[in-house]
Amino acid sequence: MEELKARIRAEGQVLGGGILKVDSLINHQVDPVLLYAMGQEIAHRFEDANITRILTAEVSGIGPALMTGLVMQVPVVYARKRKPVTMMEPVYVEAAPSHTKGGETLLMVSPEYLTAADRILIVDDFLATGKTLHALARLVTKAGAQLVGIATVIEKSFEGGRDFLADLNVRIESLAVIESMDDGQIMLAE
């Protein structure tokens, strides 16, 4: 997706330690026009997959997931990181490490919003190590649903996440792939 790549080149900042700051696009400020174009592209790539729900993790995955859900006309479920009083037991729970926050984060989904009849597309902002995406996939498995694919806005291929997710045997699509961020330079795959 050329517009996304151009914006990453212009606005992305390498903070060190494998962290890419794209807060002006998806992680703090949201560009709704670009986000909608992302949703259209993801929906196009999975248009024949008969998706019934989209799953993401709060917070940064919600924007691209919501726009994809809008285009596909399917509900979007986001795994909560804190259990609200309205979320009744039992709850599907998986742990995932947080690269930007440090430590582990719990991801929770209510069984009423993730069912065995569902065909799930996971949509998230980043594919880095793949550990958060794998935790989301385990939530899908706990629900007895079928994981159809994974779509991410930005993949940092040098962190090995795609290989880590290989055991899921699903199609993985990324809108922009970063091959390296050495010396503070963002090198995108063409």
Share of the chain above pLDDT 90, in %: 79
Kindly indicate the confidence band of residue 99, based on its pLDDT and cuts at 50, 70 and 90.
Answer: low
User: What is the per-residue pLDDT across 118-143, written as a single tens digit (0 to 9) for each?
Assistant: 999 999 999 999 999 999 999 999 99
pLDDT digits (tens, 9 = 90+) for 172-190: 999 999 999 998 899 999 8
* Interatomic CA distance for residues 118 and 167, integer angstroms: 20
pTM of the model: 0.94
Within 10 angstroms of residue 22's Cβ, the number of other Cβ atoms is 22
Per-residue H/E/C for 114-149: CCCCCEEEEEEEEECCCHHHHHHHHHHHHHCCEEEE
The CATH number of domain 2-188, selected from 3.40.50.10380, 3.40.50.2020, 3.40.50.10240, 3.90.1170.50: 3.40.50.2020
CA separation for the pair 109, 126 (Å, rounded): 20
Question: For strand 171-180 and strand 92-97, is the pairing parallel, antiparallel, or unpaired?
Answer: unpaired
Domain ranges in the chain?
2-188
Confidence of residue 112 (pLDDT cuts 50, 70, 90): very high
